[in-house]
Structure formats: C-alpha cells, structure tokens
Amino acid sequence: MVRPDERVQLITYADRLAGDLPGLRDLLRQEPFASAFAGVHVLPFYTPFDGADAGFDPSDHTAVDPRLGSWEDVRDLSTTHTTMMDLIVNHVSSESPMFQDVVAHGRESEFADVFLTMESVFPEGATEAQLTAIYRPRPGLPFTPMTLGGEKRLVWTTFTSQQIDIDVSSQGGRAYLERILDRAGEAGVRLVRLDAVGYAVKVPGTTSFMIPESFDFIEEFTDQARARGVDVLVEVHSYFRRQMEIASKVDLVYDFALPPLVLHALYTGNPAVLEHWMRIRPRNAVTVLDTHDGIGIIDVGPSSDPGGGPGLLSDAQMDELVEGIHEHSGGTSRESTGAAASNLDLYQVNCTFYDALGQDDRRYLAARAIQLFTPGIPQVYYAGAFAAPNDMALLRATGVGRDINRPYYDQHSRKAALDRPVVKALLALCAFRNELPAFDGDVETTVEGSVLTMTRRGDDAWATLAVDLGSGATVIEWEGPTGLGATEDLLEDPPKA
C-alpha cells in the first residue's frame, strides 16, 4: 500500500480561519504556516458551507460555495499542499434540489431512489427488535416523519432531520457519489475523508453500523477513488478493537483513541495505558488530538456489544476523564456537551484541547509532542494550532455545542494568536517534525515511573522524546543532518532540525 505524505497537516474551515479558499491558500504559503503544514484538510466548502451542520449537510456536494471560491481555487491549493476534503457519503441537506424534488413528487421523482426511507430498508415492515438493533450516535430512532408527494413517509435521518440519508446501493445514489469523486480528482485532491461512512449501509436485522456490507462498500468506493488518484481515510468512532479490525481492511483510519489517552496520562501521571496503546495501535493512522467534532471518548471505552470486551479505560476511568475535562476547562465544557447544547452526540466532549489541559502551555506542548512522535500522519486542528480557549461567546450566540471549538479568526486575531509563545513553539515543533528525517520508522517506547519515552529512527537521524506525565517536563534530543541537538523547554527553546 502506498502511503500519502506523512508530514504535518492542518485541519481547518476556510471561512473561520482565513475568510475563503484564496485566503487559506495565501495563509498556508506564508511563514510560519508554510514550514509547519505540508498538507491541509479543508472542512466542507460545498453549497452551503454554513448550513445546519457547518457544511456537513450540503445541498450540492459537487459545487463549491461561491462565497468561498471555486474548484479552481482547490486545484491551485493542491499544487503546493497535500489537500484533503470531506466526502459526505451518508447524507445531504433536506434543502437539496434532489430531495426537494422528492418532497414535491414523491415516488414519481427521478431522484426517489437516491434517498432512504424506513420502507425502502424494511419493505415488509420492521419488528421492535430490528428497530432497536439500529445503532445511532444520538438518542432515538433514525427516522423523521415527512410528506413526500403528498404521502406521509418515515425518512431515514441518522443525524438530524436536516440531513437525509442516501441509498448508497441505488443507481442514483452511486451516480451522485461518483460525481463528487470526479470533482475531487479533477481538483488534485489527494485524500478524501469518508464522513460517517460507518452508517452508510443499512441492512435489516443488523446494527447498520460498520457491518460486513459496509466494508464491501468501502472497498468498492476506495477502488473508484484510487482510479482517480485519490486515497481514502475512513472516519469511524468505535470500540478500539473494532477500529483495529477496520484499519486492517482500509487505507487509513483516525487514531481517535490517542486524544483521550493523552489526557488520561497527563491527568493521572500514569503512562501505562498510553504506552500499551502505542504498542498495539494501527500504523496506517491519522493522528489527532482535536477536530471540529470535539474530543471523542467512546473510542477508549468498553464495547457496547452484548458480551463485548473491556476498553482501554474502564467505565470509572472514562467518567473521571470526562469530569477532568470539565474541571480543567473551568466548567465551560459542561455547558457545551450532551443535553446542555443542541447536538446530542453520545461519544464526545465539546472542548478545545488547550482548555482540556487547563491552558497550561507546557503540558499542552507535551501533549502535542506525543502526537507528533506517534507514527502516522499528524493533523492539527486550527483551533489547536492557535492554542485556542473555549469560545463561550460563540457558543452562547449560536447554542451549538461544537461551536465552543470552532472559533472565527480575522487578520487581527490571527496576528495576536501568532504572537503567543505557545503558538510559536507549537508551529516550530511541527516544522521540526516535517524537517528531521527521523520519523520514517516505527516508534520505540519505554516507561519508567511517570516518564514516557518515545524514540523514532530514520535514515541517518533519530529523535527521542521523554515526557514526565506527572510534572509535564519534556525533553527532546535528536541527531540529524546538522548534528546533535537537545531541548528541555519546548516553550522557550523549541527544537530545530
């Protein structure tokens, strides 16, 4: 399997960081971003980018929202950066022209086969056992009553009533997804993230989440993507052993266990669970500490399946972790999570990673160093790149829990962020990770008391990270083309390759 470029990537919205796609392109080509980020995951820029779910409910996934730019802007960005985009395979907006045609004409619409209803999955009706077996990341069943062509129907809506599920097995549904792949390939996009792909295939009598048919769909879709020069990243929050199984069957997965385990290690001063994960985790992974979706928790917990196995953390440790996030954030994350805000995700805490560490600059840089020393493709979320605190003003203005971690920046606020020592140090650490040829090989880990040591070795270079998880003290030593180097203070003296 050919792996994509493993240098550091940025995850960002074009509008919230730089106004639009040309602005994002210009920003990424300037220092300090140019050295820190070799790639960029541009979060949804489709029509509309500011819908009910911040672009994850596109009405037209094949079109760039003209307020942000054009496919030509994406193509231009792709000439200097490894570019990644979301391919939302599970659903489209209820305002999409295709679905509105179904609303108007019902079964007679030319797009009737594109969308799922309860009847299209359960043509003979469903039993209570079949319905309660369906896995959904939010409370309740995944159906919304709607009138289609004058007829009352139960439309399949896994996430919200504004997001209508696509029938990926239908001719119309597959043609729609192929058109999106065509746009990506033509724009030079190197990676697509299959958003919510675990929910895309529905089979009666199953959970309809990451079932065998899901893997068949992913394999077929990956073949179609590769034919266009595009690699595929699968986005699934799940029990860690299932994640390992998924990783063995696909190009790339997210290491969603890493963020909660890093927090657990720094909260407790005990590196044992994190070091164990380093030994068994999939290597074909994208590493993150934060994303636009908050801090995932379910990925380190016990299996929810009947008779399922233990998690990397116990239920009690999970509760302590969540309470630790709330405590370190001064309670602000509690205001944005679960029933406290409009998005009732069952598997995440809405909080910036910086606030989850109590705005402690040195512990924050220690966490980022662990991420960057972990094998895989490192991605840093834009709010994390700027060590952003929770945006309580935005949360209270919108009432959307995830907005606490989705700040807006303009030229003035970007400059203010870039002037902060912790941001300068983090971007320098990313540049170090990109430039030192020590990160091609696997990682060697050891534990001594509260100290976790990680060593990476490449051609004619090595680097060793030692983090005292009790105190947060961090040391990096390395050897590369310019000789030996060492630093004991990432904040005041970030490493330089």
Cα→Cα distances 355→246, 386, 406, Å? 31, 12, 13
pLDDT for the residue numbered 346 = 52
Looking at domain 9-89+170-435, its CATH architecture is Alpha-Beta Barrel (3.20)
CA distance 403 to 416: 21
Q: Contact, 154 vs 48, CB < 8 A?
A: no
Cα→Cα distances 346→139, 140, 482, Å? 8, 12, 48
Q: Give the model confidence (pLDDT) of 38-88 as tens digits.
A: 999 999 999 999 988 888 889 988 999 999 999 999 999 999 999 999 999
Would you say the CATH fold of 443-487 matches that of 97-165? Answer: no
Q: Mind telling me the catalytic residues?
A: 195, 235
Confidence bin at 5 (pLDDT 50/70/90): confident
Confidence bin at 338 (pLDDT 50/70/90): low
pLDDT for the residue numbered 228 = 94
Q: Give the model confidence (pLDDT) of 405-454 as tens digits.
A: 999 999 999 999 999 999 999 999 999 999 999 998 889 999 999 999 99
* Average per-residue pLDDT for the chain: 93
Element (H, E) at 93: strand 91-93
- Domain boundaries of the chain, sorted by first residue: 9-89+170-435, 97-165, 443-487
pLDDT for the residue numbered 344 = 41
Element (H, E) at 35: helix 33-36
Neighbours of 412 (CB within 10 A): 8
Higher pLDDT, 114 or 348: 114
Percentage of the residues of the chain whose pLDDT score is greater than 70? 97
pLDDT for the residue numbered 347 = 65
Token pair 């070091």: residue: 275
- What is the third-level CATH fold of 97-165? Oligo-1,6-glucosidase; domain 2 (3.90.400)
Superfamily of domain covering 443-487: alpha-Amylases (2.20.220.10)
CA distance 444 to 287: 17
Q: Give the model confidence (pLDDT) of 82-104 as tens digits.
A: 999 999 999 999 999 999 999 99
CA distance 394 to 412: 18
Cα→Cα distances 188→67, 122, 182, 449, Å? 21, 40, 10, 48
The residues near 164 (Cβ < 8 Å, ≥ 6 apart) are: 91, 92, 93, 94, 96, 99, 115, 116, 155, 156, 157
Q: Contact, 424 vs 431, CB < 8 A?
A: no
Q: Give the model confidence (pLDDT) of 161-197 as tens digits.
A: 999 999 999 999 999 999 999 999 999 999 999 998 9
CA distance 495 to 368: 13
pLDDT for the residue numbered 341 = 43
Q: How far is CA 68 from the centre of its chain?
A: 21
Q: Contact, 246 vs 238, CB < 8 A?
A: yes
CA distance 495 to 417: 20
